[in-house]
Amino acid sequence: MKFPVDLLADFSKAQLENLAQEYYMNTLLYSQHDSSEYLTLPDTTQVTISVSSTGFVPFYGQNEKNKILVLFSPSDLKSAIALYLLDRWWTVEDILKTADPARRGVLPVDTVGERIVLYILNRIIYRGKEMIAEELPFLCHGENDHAKILWEDGEAVGFYSVKPTGSMYKRFSTQTYQLPVMDSIFVRKCHRGKGSGLLMLKDFVLSFSEVSLGLKYPLSNSMYRVCEKYLCEYPEHADLLWEVESIGGPYQRTNIASKIQVMGLSAVSKSLSFSEESQVIADVREDLITEQIKEATEGSVEIVVRYSHLISVTYFIKITVEIFNKLLCFGFVGGNDSSENHQRVCFILKKL
């Protein structure tokens, strides 16, 4: 089965809007109440399609030039659940799919079908479902904005967009960007923790030859983490990435590598949620420490605790207490001679 992004390669936005207008006028406005249409959602819920539950919305934000016909949720009239494309209704979930096996990785947004996928990811998935309270929403992508979508296993899982050097800063402004600036990046929650953000950041770097690249201020904590991973992998790029305000002039940018160093990796980690991945790493390290204790000789025990920023302080204390209890069980500590205990047990704390 093909999906909208596979079928709309040769369609224009005007053609799609005309088809939607004809359907709206001929089928919805003048339809009989007893001949209502229904759309079945992925959770098997049936939604009535009527004039009161549908409407045309701007495709490019404030630009009224192009519009698309949207079906809204009966429980939330601000939440879109389907779009009318190619003479039929498509759920949001199906619009994000592709049947083309070649559509894989980070690919540019060129066709109207890809623009619609970008619209769904930004306006409906991110803004409507996954944006957290303290985040600032991304602006609507313009008709000619440079953007790329990350495709994995037949599904769109994220996107990023860029303002190239020389592009207009604002609609009615004469100012232009002084360097390429990534002004939005998003990965769906169900696909996070798999390196998707790092993959898109690498693609951004490879797409431009400038000696300085910008990321729009303010960066989220998770984006600092992505930048940290990139800089650990490419330390020679310490002067490449900059956090940029406005057009990114000389006094409107901050070096990201320096900022991460000043913030301290542990400070960044404290503000992030304790992920399942870090829990696994912590468990593995605790197992390694336990194994070292068991293999140690009676006369000398050395425990190497590598305190990574991936492990929270609370969990680190928990591990330390459990290790001490294990030492008691193995007979390596105890008695009244504290100096002897000190000689027999050496904790080497190394901060990564």
pLDDT per residue as tens digits for the range 79-105: 899 999 999 999 999 999 999 999 999
Question: Residue 58: pLDDT band by 50, 70, 90 thresholds?
Answer: confident
3 in any annotated domain? no
Q: Is residue 263 part of a domain?
A: yes
CA dist 125 to 93, 156, 214, 273, Å?
Answer: 10, 11, 25, 21
243 belongs to a structural domain: yes
pLDDT at 139: 73
171 falls within a domain:
yes
Residue 325 lies in a domain: no
**H-only helix segments in the chain:** 4-7, 13-23, 92-95, 112-119, 196-206, 221-233, 256-263, 265-270, 276-295, 313-330, 338-344
Task: Find the domain containing 210 and state its range.
Answer: 167-269
Span 172-184, pLDDT tens digits: 778 999 999 999 9
Q: What's the pLDDT at 213? A: 98
Within a domain: 172: yes
Sign of the Cα pseudo-torsion (245, 65, 125, 208, in order): negative
Residue 211 lies in a domain: yes
Residue 345 has pLDDT above 70, yes or no: no
Instruction: Please tell me the predicted confidence (pLDDT) of residue 144.
Output: 80
Q: Tell me the pLDDT tens digit for each residue of 134-164.
A: 777 777 777 788 999 999 999 999 999 999 9
**Nearest in space to 94 (alpha carbons), one of 86, 139, 102:** 86
Number of domains into which the chain is organized: 1
pLDDT of 327 above 90:
no
Quote the tokens at residue 65.
């030039």
Position 24 in a domain: no
Residues in contact with 187: Cβ distance below 8 Å, sequence separation at least 6, in sequence order? 150, 157, 158, 196, 197, 200
Place of tokens 């070292």: 292
Helix axes 313-330, 276-295, angle to 10 degrees: 20
* Segment 239-295, tens digit of pLDDT: 999 999 999 999 999 999 999 988 875 554 555 544 444 443 344 344 444 444 444
Q: Is the pLDDT of residue 214 over 60?
A: yes
Q: Does 270 or 171 have the greater pLDDT score?
A: 171
How does the average pLDDT of the chain come out, rounded? Answer: 79
In this predicted model, which residue has the larger pLDDT, 297 or 154?
154
% of residues, the chain, pLDDT over 90: 49
pLDDT band at 228 (very low <50, low <70, confident <90, very high): very high
Instruction: Give the pLDDT band (50/70/90) at residue 36.
Output: confident
Q: What pTM was computed for the model? A: 0.73
Quote the percentage of the chain above a pLDDT of 70.
Answer: 73
> Is 70 exceeded by the pLDDT of residue 329?
no
